[in-house]
Amino acid sequence: MDEFPKIHNTDEIPGEAPQVIENAINVFKQLPGIGDRTARRIIYWLLGQPRDKLEEFISALEELKNSVKICSVCFNVSITDPCHICANTERDHSVICVVAEPQDIAAIESTRIYDGVYHVLGGLLDAMRGIGPEDLHIAELVQRAAQPEVKEIILALDPSNEGETTARHIAKLLKDVDVKVTILAQGISAGTALEFADPRTLSAALTNRTEFK
């Protein structure tokens, strides 16, 4: 096994990890759901792997950075622009499903019952975190909704206070647009992120969606 060289740094405090390791830990702590302890476990696990294994991780991240784009139409992540969904002429472009994040698209696609297109907001309105309408792709959604071919906007947002606030804000902006605005039927537990909803529940919520009031 090609071992990592031992780190020698006379400036380090005895008993503490070298600064280069602490720097890596601090980077991993920025990931969602990763605290200090988990970040340390990941870094020390990586250090215990063969060098070629670490190179695999680095290569994968480099490929992400260099290959993945943001679709200029729906703001989904993709390797093409427009993305494969927006470019698919067999999809129903008269129906736009609005989601908070790209991973929500994967959840809806897993139901295999939706054949429309999407619009990714890039988050939800959250006054506590300082996220306002100008921070999301809401203005672009209103522009898309005004296109003659669009007949329905499905608000598929998390069943949370932030999701409801965002849905109401969008519905208000679309009030004077000739388009039907619907929301998912109840069934997804409050506080459950859409990406974690099981396909059967999500499928029922989509099928039984109701007009937003």
- pLDDT at res. 15: 55
Residue 191 burial (10 A CB sphere; 0-12, 13-18, 19+): exposed
Query: Which CATH number fits the domain that encloses residue 92?
Result: 3.40.1360.10
Same domain, 119 and 189: yes
- pLDDT at res. 202: 93
> Pick from 74, 105, 121, 118: which is nearest to 202 by CA?
105
What is the domain extent for residue 59? 19-67
Same domain, 53 and 119: no
Low-confidence ranges of the chain (pLDDT < 50): 1, 6-14
Residues 102/77, Cβ–Cβ less than 8 Å:
yes
What separation in angstroms does the CA of 153 have from each of 2, 11, 46, 196? 55, 59, 45, 22
Q: Answer yes or no: is 136 within a domain.
A: yes
- pLDDT at res. 17: 78
Out of 67, 92, 107, pick the residue that ends a domain. 67
State the total domains in the chain.
2
Q: Answer yes or no: is 7 within a domain.
A: no
Same domain, 150 and 50: no
